[in-house]
Amino acid sequence: MPGPLKTVRGIADLVPHGLIVKYVVASVFRVTWGFFLAVLAAVPLGLAAGWYRRAEMALNPILQILRPISPLAWIPIAILWFGVGDLAAVFLIFVGCFLPLLLAVISAVQGVPAVYINAGRNFGLSPIALMRRILFPAIVPRLMTGLRITLGIAWLVVVAAEMIAVNSGLGFLIVDARNAGNRYDLVVAGMVIIGVVGLLLDNAVHSLERASAFRWGFEEKA
């Protein structure tokens, strides 16, 4: 097991070749697209399923069947459909993020106090205005928490996907270093880089979460 000094030297070996930047950019690119597509699909569907009881009853059996399936179990199907490349990794990230985020949005909608909804209806708000002015602002704090957790899942999935489905990225760096022989300093270096980038992404979403909480609290007082 390489020590800290040897690991630092391994990271230094990657710098002159530009591999750190190249692999980090490749991983962040895949996470961004997979996460964005999951948000684009899960948030509207979660709002509808949480708002309409029949929609939630129709979706729930399917969700409960798919939810226990690990995103990594989809790797053979992803490669079959999209081949070895970015699309397969993006698909795996989408699968890993979609269901947890969908369930988080449904739970957030169903957790909105009924008094908020009734107050909006008493003021004569239309269904669209009720969703825009009452429902969505009320779920923002829990939605941001769900986004933060889901982004962590996306970062976990991309590393595993890159070990199998692509030939670049931080996950590929770890596998390639292992296959190179005794370069376990690069293996640990890749793990350290993954942790640092994951921390930076989490801090970014946490900052956005605090900003949204402040904005919601300000509007609520106003």
Burial track 99-136 (b if 16+ CB lie within 10 A, e otherwise): bbbbbbbbebbeebeeeebeebeeeebeeeebbeebbb
Decide if pLDDT at 37 tops 90.
Answer: yes
More confident residue, 51 or 165: 51
3-state secondary structure (DSSP) of residue 52: coil
Task: From 145, 155, 194, select the one nearest 71 (Cα to Cα).
Answer: 155
Give tens-digit pLDDT for 118-138.
Answer: 887 787 777 777 877 888 788
What CATH number is associated with residue 56?
1.10.3720.10
Place of tokens 């980038």: 197
Give tens-digit pLDDT for 64-98.
Answer: 888 888 888 888 888 888 887 888 889 999 999 99
Report the number of distinct structural domains present in the chain.
1
Q: Which domain holds residue 147?
A: 4-221
